């Protein structure tokens, strides 16, 4: 296994020069674009690492999987999906087009920004701080890392420049999709996206999902099987933004990416994989990370299709 993931990282490194870090969030544009790392954790707890796997990065949109879990636990699936759809969009992750053109202004899925903001409005708590404390606790529990926190620099950078997200949120508030105060919901969203993780953290999250909610470390059931299957299905259909179809064909794994450069993948019944490479392609996905996962999937015949 170690030789295979070393080769996968070497393969991915050959492509990172074709991408660049996210520039629309100023703090993310400062990272070293030449980093690339991977962690693999099997559902029995065995693990392997290669490259820059210990580098910290902000989780960004990978956090949408955890927020979805919390909203469904708090409100129930029927309530959640009365306000957020289950269909891929085909548009960019921060697009407003569908909100303007579909009849109910209902975001098409929880993995795009509009859907994730709506999901965050359903998470329960007495205040934004209490809500974020619950979100952070869930990250720590699922990633088996109690030291996980958030980057204040990235949070402040996102909050200062999140004009498109504000437009999405206000549009949904006007349509009755968003609950609560818009700025409070957005504050939770920005904080959630600024959570700092490593490849190991997101690989562990992927491993919990791969094991249908059972911890690969303790054997404890952390999530209901039905909920992990729901999340993995969204990862297949919507997890890689408007490149989800191509990713399904080339890699064939449930995965969720973030503009911080991370990709969390889950191989059902086998393993979780976390990759990090901040050089992004035009769709906002880690270009080296995708190539690393493609190599690994082909070499190990991991595709679920």
Annotated catalytic residues are 61, 64, 189, 241, 259
The token duo for 271 is: 């393993």
What's the CA gap between 128 and 131, in Å, rounded?
5
Strands 262-267 and 271-276: antiparallel
What's the CA gap between 233 and 86, in Å, rounded?
10
């Amino acid at each position: 296994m170690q030789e295979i993931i070393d080769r996968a990282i070497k393969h991915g490194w050959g492509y990172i020069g074709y991408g660049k870090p996210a520039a629309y969030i100023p703090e993310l544009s400062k990272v070293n674009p030449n980093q690339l790392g991977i962690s693999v954790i099997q559902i029995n707890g065995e693990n392997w690492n290669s490259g820059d796997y210990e580098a910290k990065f902000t989780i960004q949109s990978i956090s949408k999987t955890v927020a979805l879990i919390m909203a469904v636990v708090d409100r129930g699936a029927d309530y959640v999906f009365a306000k957020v759809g289950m269909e891929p969009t085909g548009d960019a992750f921060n697009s407003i087009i569908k909100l303007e053109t579909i009849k109910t202004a209902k975001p098409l899925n929880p993995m795009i920004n509009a859907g994730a903001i709506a999901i965050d409005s359903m998470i329960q708590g007495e205040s934004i701080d209490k809500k974020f404390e619950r979100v952070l606790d869930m990250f720590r529990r699922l990633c088996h890392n109690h030291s996980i926190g958030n980057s204040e620099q990235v949070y402040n950078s996102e909050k200062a420049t999140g004009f498109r997200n504000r437009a999405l949120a206000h549009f949904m508030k006007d349509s009755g999709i968003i609950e609560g105060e818009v700025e409070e919901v957005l504050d939770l969203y920005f904080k959630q996206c600024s959570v700092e993780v490593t490849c190991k953290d997101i690989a562990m999250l992927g491993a919990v999902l791969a094991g249908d909610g059972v911890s690969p470390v303790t054997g404890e059931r952390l999530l209901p099987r039905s909920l992990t299957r729901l999340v993995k299905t969204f990862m297949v259909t919507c997890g890689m933004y408007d490149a989800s179809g191509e990713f399904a064909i080339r890699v064939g794994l449930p995965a969720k990416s973030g503009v911080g450069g991370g990709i969390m993948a889950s191989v059902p019944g086998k393993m979780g994989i976390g990759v990090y490479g901040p050089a992004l392609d035009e769709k906002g996905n880690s270009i080296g990370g995708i190539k690393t996962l493609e190599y690994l999937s082909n070499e190990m015949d991991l595709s679920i299709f």
